[in-house]
Amino acid sequence: MSDTSHDPKQGPVPSRRAFLRGAAATGAGLAAGGAAAQNAPDPLITQVQDWASGTGDGVDATPYGMPIEFESDVIRRNVEWLTADTISSINFTPIHALDGTITPQGCAFERHHSGAIELRKEDYRLMIHGLVDTPLVFTYADLERFPRVNKTFFLECAANTGMEWAGAQLNGAQFTHGMIHNMEYSGVSLRTLLDEAGLTSAGDFKDKWIYVEGADASSNGRSIPLEKALDDVMIAFKANGEALRKEHGYPVRLVVPGWEGNLWVKWLRRIEVTAQAIESREETSKYTDTLEDGTARKWTWVMDAKSVVTSPSPQAPITHGKGPLVVTGLAWSGRGAITGVDVTIDGGKTWQKARLAAAGQPMALTRFYLDIDWDGSEMFVQSRCHDDTGYVQPTKNQLRDVRGLNSVYHNNCIQTWWVKETGEAENVEVS
Amino acid sequence: MSKYLKVALISAACVTGGAAPSFAADLGLGRAALPAEIAAWDKDVSPDGTGLPVGSGSVEDGEMIFSETCASCHGEFAEGVDNWPKLAGGMDTLDHEDPTKTVGSYWPYLSTTFDYVRRSMPFGAAQTISDDDVYAMVAYILYSNDLVEEDFVLSQDNFLEVEMPNADGFIIDDRPQTEYSQFTSDTACYDNCKDSVEITMRAAVLDVTPEETSSPAPALAPAAVVETAPQEPAVEVAPLEPVDIVASFDADLAAKGEKVFKKCKACHQVGEDAKNKTGPILNGVIGAPIAHVDGFKYSKDFLAAKEQGRMWDEALLAEFLAKPKAVFKRTKMSFAGLKKDSEIASVIEYLKSVSQ
């Protein structure tokens, strides 16, 4: 068959997504292997192309650059029917189209309870009060003068994969697992700030809490044990080297490593040291997990170990036919570092150990690869990760056995993609 | 502040975190928070009543205020409109499939309701309600859940006496006991782990995944993130009369107005695909009759004004946007009003630009 999609005479190449769809449909018909014979010389090689002859954009064409137009499908997407309104809603990171581990801010998912507000650094104030020796107010400029730290962490919404409790529902890794991002944060350790206010008044730290709140209309208040606050919590003002985006809490957000995203309060304005949990709406009505008998777990802060194959997947079908295939995905654990990832292509009859792109880092995303020679037959692809506490990611049925079907949050089950002979993939559950 | 403790904390940090910065001095950054500042922001209320302000409110008053400021989203009886949260009902459903979680059926503490309503509601005009009115509305929400009688008055004195049905319905995270011991790496199988693999469920059957161009209506109520029912189909809107646009139009001002309009988006949509939400579509509203969208449920005040043939000219709209309730006492638009004249002028200009 001829590979017309690359012929410059055909005019503009169709969008990458349309191309993927078309190619997927005919994928199985493509010649196997990378070294397919070429009968006629490739005009992309034999003819002088415009870009090899004329000139491109000068510097300053885009003082702040955006991805090239051909990547315009690599964007956050929302599922309209999930919520009444986009102002209190969520969208999803296009993890199916990303590689490596760092999530660019521009496509990192958003979750707001009353919209993303615009708060200037000049108008920003952070108050620390409650059981501290001296209640203090900091400006943004004050925060920049504290000794600084840089750390990379994943943020996962507790509801990530939540729509899948009852059954396979959304067709794409972006929608099933895209409430996650992973960034390198620069900021100040919360311990440093609490220390500046003094904690002698707090007495025994063991039964004390901090209550954190944002400057937006929802305020999204949450209680966090003081011991966690003093352990590894950060106040961040930069992510991946540049200022936080508005939608992620510019100018200052809380970073709570390994714990559910709702605790990472954006537009952070107040930290109160308290003698009890406040039991705010976000820690009672929401972010609690109803079990089979109707009782609910509360204070389920830690995100358990989880992994997902990002490609091949429904939005990232195989377009090249049989032969060498890169199976890749992400793994993470809120309780420590990923120590290994296993991948199966036969729905769990046999498992192989995937290759980690780099050794797992605590509470940060780990990229894995499995390089296989695909024979073109259907596959049931799954991944399963292990962390350094000795925990292994469970199946959906193992979780349902403990929790029943009515939980929404903390679904860290093994995900299955049914990859068909055409290279297309679908979200399924298997026995 | 205790220097002694500080040194202890910092040395601890240096031992545990390899990359933690080391310093041992009080940096003297920030300034003391003033009592008035703490009072302005410290609004949280705890289960034991810590933080409750002095005040009281009756079910009767609450019903009136709720109907005016909350019912457009949460329903007259707190039963929830469309996709907006239900605040009442769902008793004894927690062990059913798809439980209905409301203040009455699920919330363990009454303090949470007070705290949340005072701080975060109404949506789009948070922190505009007096403490007495918050007491009244919380009383009304209790009444809607059949938890108090209609002559009940809630105050800081009897607050802790109210019994919440699901107060004992919560346990502290027990995953370490119930799950971690089962899900261990040494149980992981690698070969001959099962005989057969059959598909038991397919996402394509449900077909609720958004498409690039349009999102299909879901086939089945999902176990949604935000625990909501699927969206109602768009309301049909009668074609609008052509409007006589005010001659002058300032595009720059309209651009500024588009930003201001973010404050309205919780309730209003504009443009080609606009739907009625909590508030009506605003396409072509300037120069149109009051209550200009057929089929939208306007307040009696609005309908009366429409009967009288009143129109939205710029002056009336400016007055309305500054203080909605000053113009129409019983308007359903629960919005505090725009504070700056410049915001009002620009948002009106913006509304002119979406007149089609």
A-contacting residues in B 102-121 (Cβ below 8 Å): 103, 106-109, 111-112, 115-116, 119-120
Query: Taking CB atoms and an 8 Å cutoff, what residues of chain B touch A292?
Result: 95
Query: For testing the chain B interface, which of A76, A77, A78, A85 should be mutated: the one with the most B CBs within 10 Å?
Result: A85
**Residue of chain A with shortest Cα separation from B217:** A81
Residues 331-370 of A with CB under 8 A from B: 339-340, 342, 346-352
Q: Are A8 and A42 in contact (CB under 8 A)?
A: no
| B81 assigned to some structural domain | yes
Distance CA A124, CA A136 (A): 14
* In a domain? residue B175: no
Q: How many residues does chain A have?
A: 431
Percentage with pLDDT > 90 across chain B: 51
Residues B60 and B154 in one domain: yes
Residues 6+ apart with CB under 8 A from B337: B321, B322, B323, B324
CA distance B67 to chain A (A): 20
For chain B, the domain total comes to 3
Separation CA A392–CA A414 (nearest Å): 10
pLDDT at A315 over 80: yes
Give Dmax over CA atoms of chain B in angstroms.
Answer: 81
Shortest CA distance from B166: residue in chain A: A295
Chain B residue with the nearest C-alpha to that of A116: B262
Confidence of residue B13 (pLDDT cuts 50, 70, 90): very low
Average confidence (pLDDT) over A3-28: 40
DSSP code string of B296-313: ----HHHHHHHHTT-B--
Q: Do the chains contact at B6 and A290, CB–CB below 8 Å?
A: no
Res. B230: pLDDT tops 80: no
Q: Are residues B275 and B347 in the same domain?
A: yes
Q: Which residues of B243-264 are buried (b: 16+ CB within 10 A; e: fewer)?
A: beeeeeeeeebbebbbebbebb
Domain spans of chain A, in order of start: 80-171+180-297, 306-428
Closest to B97 in 3D by CA, of A292, A289, A288:
A292
* Secondary structure of residue B233 in the 3-state scheme: coil
Same domain, B23 and B109: no
CATH architecture label of A80-171+180-297 = Alpha-Beta Complex (3.90)
**pLDDT band at residue B3 using 50, 70 and 90 as cut-offs:** very low
Q: What is the largest CA-CA distance in chain A?
A: 81
Q: Which residue of A has its CA nearest to B85?
A: A84
What does DSSP assign to residue B103?
T
* Chains A & B: contacts with CB separation below 8 Å: 339
Q: What is the pLDDT of residue B278?
A: 82
How are beta strands B199-202 and A222-225 bridged, if at all?
unpaired
Q: At B22, is the pLDDT very low, low, confident or very high (cuts 50, 70, 90)?
A: low
Is the pLDDT assigned to residue A118 strictly greater than 90? Answer: yes
Q: Does A211 touch chain B (CB under 8 A)?
A: yes
> Is B169 within 8 Å of A168 when comparing Cβ atoms?
no
Q: What is the least distance, in Å, from the CA of B33 to any CA of chain A?
A: 5
Which two tokens mark B102? 């409301």
B99 vs A contacts (CB less than 8 Å): 290, 294, 406
Q: How far is B248 from chain A (nearest CA, A)?
A: 30
Q: What is the pLDDT of residue B21?
A: 59
From the list A168, A272, A298, the residue facing B172 with the nearest CB is A298
Residues B102 and B11 in one domain: no
Given pLDDT bands bounded at 50, 70 and 90, which one contains residue B82? confident
Given B115, B137, B161, which residue is the final one in a domain? B161
Q: Give the whole-angstrom CA distance, residue A265 versus residue A111.
A: 11
For residue range B31-46, what is the model confidence (pLDDT) as tens digits?
999 999 999 999 999 9
Token output for B89: 């009902």
Residue type, B311: M
Measure B309 CA to nearest chain A CA, in Å.
33
A47 interface with B at CB cutoff 8 Å = no
Res B248: pLDDT: 62
Nearest Cβ partner for A428 among B203, B212, B266: B203
Q: Do B210 and A302 touch (CB under 8 A)?
A: no
Q: Is A415 helix (H, G, I), strand (E, B) or coil?
A: coil
β-partners of residue A211 are A223, A272
Q: Under an 8 A CB cutoff, do A84 and B199 touch?
A: no
Closest residue of chain A to B190, computed from CA coordinates = A351
Using an 8 Å Cβ cutoff, are B73 and B60 in contact? Answer: no
Chain B residue numbers touching A377 (CB-CB < 8 A): none
Residue B7: its chain A contacts at CB < 8 A? none
- Does the distance separating the beta carbons of A279 and B108 come in below 8 Å? yes
Residue B329 pLDDT exceeds 60: yes
Q: Which residues of A touch B19 (CB under 8 A)?
A: 149-151
Residues 261-280 of A with CB under 8 A from B: 269-270, 272, 274, 276-280
CB-based contacts of B129: which residues, under 8 Å, 6+ apart? B65, B69, B117, B118, B121, B122, B137
Residue B230 lies in a domain: no
Strands B153-155 and B56-58, bridge-based pairing:
antiparallel
Q: Assess B130–A contact: CB distance below 8 Å, yes or no.
A: no
Check for a shared fold between A80-171+180-297 and A306-428: no
What are the helix (H) ranges across A260-342?
Answer: none
pLDDT of residue B333: 85
Kindly list the distances between the CA atom of residue A18 and the CA atoms of A33, A157, B157, B295, in Å, as whole numbers in the listed order: 23, 30, 65, 40
Backbone angles phi, psi at B57, to 5 degrees: -165, 145
Inter-chain residue contact A84 with B10, CB threshold 8 Å: no
Interface mutation target, options B180, B183, B190, chain A, most CBs of A under 10 Å: B183
Helix axes B341-353, B314-322, angle to 10 degrees: 130
**Taking the CA atoms of chain B, what radius of gyration do you get in angstroms?**
27
Mean pLDDT highest for which of A20-34, A132-146, B192-206, B284-298?
Answer: A132-146
pLDDT tens digit sequence for A380-403: 999 999 999 999 999 999 999 999
Question: How many residues belong to chain B?
Answer: 356
pLDDT surpassing 60 at residue A27: no
Which residues does residue B75 pair with via DSSP β-bridges, in sequence order? none
Indicate the pTM of the whole model: 0.78
Nearest CB among B171, B189, B199 relative to A418 is that of B199
Domain formed by A306-428, architecture = Sandwich (2.60)
Contact B115, A272 (CB under 8 A): no
Domain that holds residue B80: 56-161
Could you list the beta-strand ranges (E) of A190-264: 209-214, 222-225, 234-239, 242-243, 253-255
Question: A124 vs chain B: nearest CA distance in angstroms?
Answer: 13
Q: Is B177 on the interface with A (CB under 8 A)?
A: no
Q: Which residues of chain A are within 8 Å of residue B94 when distances are taken between CB atoms? A: 290, 294-296
B211, B224, B180, A100: CA torsion to nearest 10:
30
Q: Could B231 and A81 be called an inter-chain contact, meaning their C-beta atoms sit closer than 8 Å?
A: yes
Q: Is the pLDDT of residue B324 over 60?
A: yes
For residue A243, count other CB atoms closer than 10 A to its CB.
14
Q: Where are the alpha helices (DSSP H) in A212-339?
A: 226-231
Domain assignment of residue B315, yes or no: yes
Residues of chain B in contact with residue A145, where contact means CB-CB under 8 angstroms, are: 27, 29
Mean pLDDT value across chain B: 82
In a shared domain, residues B11 and B60? no
How does pLDDT run across A62-113, given as a tens digit for each residue?
A: 999 999 999 999 999 998 877 777 888 899 999 999 999 999 999 999 999 9
CB of A141 less than 8 A from some CB of B: no
More confident residue, A317 or B223: A317
Residue indicated by tokens 């509601």 = B121
Q: How far is CA A369 from CA A308, A342, A383, A418, A420, in A?
A: 11, 10, 11, 18, 20
Q: Which residues of A touch B202 (CB under 8 A)?
A: 168, 418, 426-428
Residue at B218 is within a domain:
no
**Angle (nearest 5°) at CA B87 between A274 and B325:** 95
CATH number at residue B110: 1.10.760.10
Q: Which of A162, A166, A285 sits opposite B106 (nearest CB)?
A: A285
pLDDT, mean over chain A: 91
Per the domain annotation, does B17 fall within a domain?
yes
Count other Cβ atoms within 10 Å, centred on residue B150: 11
What's the pLDDT tens digit per position in B85-119? 999 999 999 998 889 999 999 999 999 999 999 99
pLDDT interval class at B216 (50, 70, 90): very low
CB of A281 less than 8 A from some CB of B? yes
Three-state SS letters, B234-272 = CCCCCCCCCCCCCCCCCHHHHHHHHHHHHHCCCCCCCCC
What is the distance in angstroms between the Cα of B302 and the nearest Cα belonging to chain A?
A: 25
Contact B112 A279 (CB under 8 A): yes
Residue B216 lies in a domain: no
Cα nearest neighbour of A159 on chain B: B225
Residue A405 backbone phi and psi in degrees, to 5: -105, -5
Q: Pick A15 or A68 by higher pLDDT.
A: A68
Mean pLDDT of A269-286: 97
Shortest distance between the Cα of B169 and any Cα of chain A, in A, equals 5
Amino acid type, B159:
F
Residue of A285, A346, A403 to mutate, testing the B interface (most B Cβ within 10 Å of its Cβ): A285
- Top-confidence residue, B72 or A36: B72
Q: How far is B78 from chain A (nearest CA, A)?
A: 16
Tell me what pLDDT residue A35 has.
Answer: 60
Gap between the Cα atoms of A295 and B168, Å rounded: 8
**A153 — phi, psi (to 5°)?**
-140, 150
Stretch A174-199: mean pLDDT: 97
Rg, Å, chain A Cα set:
24
* Residue B90 CA: distances (Å) to CA of B146, B166, B292: 11, 12, 37
Q: Report the alpha-carbon distance of residue B126 to residue B114 in Å, rounded.
A: 13
Q: Tell me the H-state helices in A272-355.
A: none
Reported confidence tier of residue A378, pLDDT bands at 50, 70, 90: very high
